[in-house]
Structure 1
Amino acid sequence: MLAQIRLLEQLNALAKTDQHGFVRLRAPVDVTSLIGWLKAQPLYPRIYWHARERDREFAVLGAIRELTDPAQLAELTGQQRPNAGSYPRYYGGLAFDYQQPVTGEWQDFGQCRFVLPRIELIRQGNQTELVCNLWFEGANAEQEMAAARTALQQLQPEKTLRKYLPTQRERQDTPDKPRWMQWLSQVLQPEALKTIPKVVLSRRSTLTFNEPLEPWSLLASWQCAAPACFHIGFQFSPDSCFIASSPERLYRRQDRQLLSEALAGSTPRTGDPEQDAELATLLLQDGKNRLENRFVHTDILTRLDGLAETAVVSDAHILPLQHIQHIKREIEASLRPDTTDWQLLKSIHPTPAVGGSPRRKALAQIRALEQHQRGWYAGACGFISEDVSEFTVAIRSGLWHDQQLHLYTGAGILTGSDADTEWQELDTKLGSMLGAWHD
Structure 2
Amino acid sequence: MNSESSSSTQQFAAGPYEGYRFYTETIEVTRMSALAFFEAGGEGYAGKRMFWQNREKTFTLVGIGHAHVLSTDQPTGRFEKIKKDWKSLCNQIVNEEHSVQPVLFGGFSFDPLNDKPSEWTRFPQAYFAVPTFQLILKGEQAFVSIHLITEQQESFAEFDAMRKERDKLIHAAQVTEVDKYDKPRTIGRAELRKEEYLDSIQRVTDIIKAKEVEKVVIARALELEFEDKLSPSSALYQVSNEQPESFLFGLEAEEQFFFGATPERLVKVESQKALSTCLAGSTPRGKTVEKDTELGEALLKDPKNRAEHQYVVKMISEVFENYCSGTVVPKLPKLLKIRDIQHLYTPVEGKLNPGATLFDLVEVLHPTPALGGEPKLEALHMIRKHEAMNRGYYAAPIGWIDAKGDGEFAVAIRSALLDGEKAYLYAGGGIVADSTPESEYDETWVKFRPMLRALGGQLSDES
TM over 0.5: yes
Correspondence 1:27-426 to 2 at 5 A: 27-30=27-30, 32-41=32-41, 42-43=44-45, 44-69=47-72, 70=78, 71-75=80-84, 76-77=86-87, 83-86=95-98, 87-100=101-114, 104-135=118-149, 139-142=153-156, 145=159, 148-149=162-163, 151-152=165-166, 155=169, 157-158=172-173, 160-176=178-194, 178-189=195-206, 192=209, 194-237=211-254, 239-314=255-330, 315-385=332-402, 386-426=404-444
TM score, norm. by length of structure 2: 0.85
Q: Does the 8 A contact of 1:310 with 1:335 survive in 2?
A: no
Q: Which moved more, 1:188-197 or 1:89-98?
A: 188-197
Give 1:111's aligned amino acid: Q
Q: Does the 8 A contact of 1:102 with 1:110 survive in 2?
A: no
Taking the aligned partners of 1:373 and 1:301, their CA distance within structure 2 comes to 29
Q: 1:31 deviation in Å?
A: 5.1
Q: Which moved more, 1:148-157 or 1:59-68?
A: 148-157
Q: Does the 8 A contact of 1:163 with 1:437 survive in 2?
A: no
Give 1:309's aligned amino acid: S
Unaligned runs of 5+ in 2: 11-20, 73-77
Taking the aligned partners of 1:290 and 1:193, their CA distance within structure 2 comes to 22
Q: Which residue of 2 aligns with 1:7?
A: none
**Pairwise CA RMSD of aligned residues?**
2.6
SS in 2 for 1:306: helix
Taking the aligned partners of 1:310 and 1:274, their CA distance within structure 2 comes to 39
Q: Does the 8 A contact of 1:249 with 1:261 survive in 2?
A: yes
Taking the aligned partners of 2:225 and 2:325, their CA distance within structure 1 comes to 50
Deviations 1:114-151 (A, max 9, x none): 11111001100011122112346562535752673574
Q: Does the 8 A contact of 1:253 with 1:259 survive in 2?
A: yes
1:404–1:193 Cα change, 3 Å:
farther
SS in 2 for 1:195: coil
Deviations 1:13-32 (A, max 9, x none): 65996356443222233354
Deviations 1:147-178 (A, max 9, x none): 735743763713523332343222111231x3
Give 1:37's aligned amino acid: F
Q: Which moved more, 1:282-291 or 1:376-385?
A: 376-385
Taking the aligned partners of 2:181 and 2:6, their CA distance within structure 1 comes to 47
Q: 1:254 deviation in Å?
A: 1.1
SS in 2 for 1:62: strand
Taking the aligned partners of 1:16 and 1:111, their CA distance within structure 2 comes to 36
TM score, norm. by length of structure 1: 0.89
SS in 1 for 2:356: coil
SS in 1 for 2:440: helix
Identity of aligned residues (%): 30
